[in-house]
Amino acid sequence: MPEVLTAPLTLEFPFTRSLGPVQSAFLTGLRERVVLGVRTTDGRTLVPPVEYDPVTADELRDLVEVAPTGTVTTWAWNPEPRRGQPLDNPFAWVLVRLDGADTALLHALDAPGPDSVRTGQRVRVRWAETRTGAITDIACFEPCEGPTAEPSGHSGEFEDAVTGIVAPARLDYTYGPGRAQTDHLAALAERRTVGERCPSCHKVYIPPRGACPTCGVATTDHVEVGPAGTVTTYCIVNIKAKNLDIEVPYVYAHIALDGADLALHGRIGGIPYDQVRMGLRVEPVWTEGSRFPDHYRPNGEPDADYDTYKELV
Ligand SMILES: [Zn+2]
């Protein structure tokens, strides 16, 4: 049996969000080196500010400036910073209660090592050189001595308020397809399609998941299917995908390969899109170096009778 495959995968997308009045003021303030909190109806000051009181649900709009100095309320050492974190060198994650605030803000503290960080430590904001109206306008916190820094006295009213941010979301992970799909992928490398048969109901699954979804028993019996198959159902795609060099309209179909009890997906080529039909007999078309069929095309056989594939629609 071949070694089980793994592959690094990255899931990444930009998330664009509007800010609303409170977050807009907070981030615009950071751009101008002013830290704003919001006052609750019972007189507490929340930093970072929120639009609604987490206790009473009152709407909060009374923005007040707090100092750029504060006190560490708790912390954790981060020995191996990851991509996108505030600092490249090891640092402490800290909750900092800024002077004038009643709640703490999560950020990074630039410190030489965990021995130099403690709860109760005095710290101050280190501003980013280039500020755009984002939490990263605070580059990090740094240790400081001495009393509370004076707030700037800013009114909290700014020109050109920041009204939205783009937050890049990214997830790096290692994908392991497991034994059954590893075998399936190894066969595809030889341009063969291999599924697995359930020992109980005898259905053949493509691609195999390692267990029968109906019977719940392990599938281990390899079965080669295809290469020809039957279009069981299809749709016409009219929207051009950003990263695909395929002319629209084209047809994407469910294809039941001969011998399989589960239809797979594939693009249909070699025939005008409006002539594709249920029951059309097709065969895979491989391109140089590809690990799966580029598309399927008619193989010239007469259309399959509906009764032969109706269970797979
Ligand atoms: Zn089964």
Per-domain boundaries in the chain = 7-170, 178-312
Please state, in angstroms and rounded to a whole number, the distance separating the CA atoms of residues 21 and 278.
Answer: 54
Q: What is the Å distance from ligand 1's center to 198 Cα?
A: 5
- The two three-digit tokens of residue 258, written as one number: 């001969």
Q: How many residues does the chain have?
A: 313
Q: What is the pLDDT along the chain (313 residues), one digit of tens a residue?
A: 557 788 899 999 998 999 999 999 999 999 999 999 999 999 999 999 999 999 999 999 999 999 999 999 999 999 999 888 999 999 999 999 999 999 999 999 999 999 999 999 999 999 999 999 999 999 999 999 877 777 777 766 778 899 999 888 888 899 888 888 898 998 998 999 999 999 999 999 998 989 998 999 999 899 999 899 999 999 999 988 777 788 889 999 999 999 999 899 999 999 999 999 999 999 999 998 888 899 999 999 999 999 999 988 8
H-helix or E-strand containing 309?
A: helix 306-309
Please state, in angstroms and rounded to a whole number, the distance separating the CA atoms of residues 98 and 26.
Answer: 14
Nearest to 302 by CA among 217, 228, 211, 249: 228
How many helices and strands (H and E) does the chain possess?
A: 3, 18
Give the CA distances from residue 177 to residues 3, 199, 201, in Å, rounded to whole numbers and listed in that order. Answer: 11, 22, 24
DSSP string, 5-19: P-EEEEEEEEEEEE-
Which burial class, exposed, middle or buried, applies to 56 when counting CB atoms under 10 A from its CB (0-12, 13-18, 19+)? Answer: exposed
Which burial class, exposed, middle or buried, applies to 285 when counting CB atoms under 10 A from its CB (0-12, 13-18, 19+)? Answer: middle
Q: What is the Å distance from ligand 1's center to 187 Cα?
A: 22
Contact 49, 22 (CB under 8 A): yes
Task: List, in order, residues 6 or more apart from 100 with CB less than 8 Å away.
Answer: 37, 45, 64, 65, 66, 67, 148, 151
- The two three-digit tokens of residue 34, written as one number: 């002013």
Q: What is the Å distance from ligand 1's center to 197 Cα?
A: 8
Q: What is the Å distance from ligand 1's center to 194 Cα?
A: 17
Contact 188, 181 (CB under 8 A): no
Q: What is the Å distance from ligand 1's center to 218 Cα?
A: 9
Q: What is the Å distance from ligand 1's center to 290 Cα?
A: 31
Nearest to 179 by CA among 211, 204, 202: 211
